[in-house]
Structure 1
């Protein structure tokens, strides 16, 4: 039977992956909030699309 040993390098890589996943989730939340704010204040759909493009917000990643 093989045993899985925890190494400092593996622990660091796992911690880094966890931080990156949390950062990505926070990024998606911020983008969703920004898109919602733009949509509320836009005059119409065309202006909303234009403002989102100006901000570099990609709605395809928002679900």
Structure 2
């Protein structure tokens, strides 16, 4: 988003796309941290899978 602010000719669509990309990155980072926290506190792999499902976290989108 910083690059869009420094460019006075960036249109609203560019700024919006930059904000959306930053939000998606933040969302993935929060989900990764949540999944790590769940994994740290789970008793075993099955427990981890159930807890992640309860939170609605999809591991396929995490890297």
Q: What TM-score do the two structures reach when normalised by structure 1? A: 0.84
Q: Does 1:28 align with 2:25?
A: no
Distance 1:11 1:51 in 2: 43
List structure 1 runs of 4+ shifted beyond 6 angstroms.
Answer: none
Distance 2:28 2:41 in 1: 20
Q: Which residue pairs with 2:5 in the alignment?
A: none
Query: Unpaired runs of 5+ in structure 2?
Result: 1-8
Distance 1:11 1:50 in 2: 44
Aligned residues: 55
Query: Unpaired runs of 5+ in structure 1?
Result: 1-7
Question: Which structure has the bigger radius of gyration?
Answer: 1
Question: Please, what is the CA RMSD of the aligned residues?
Answer: 1.3
Q: Which residue pairs with 1:39 in the alignment?
A: 39
Once the two structures are TM-superposed, the CA of residue 60 in structure 1 deviates from its matched residue by 0.2
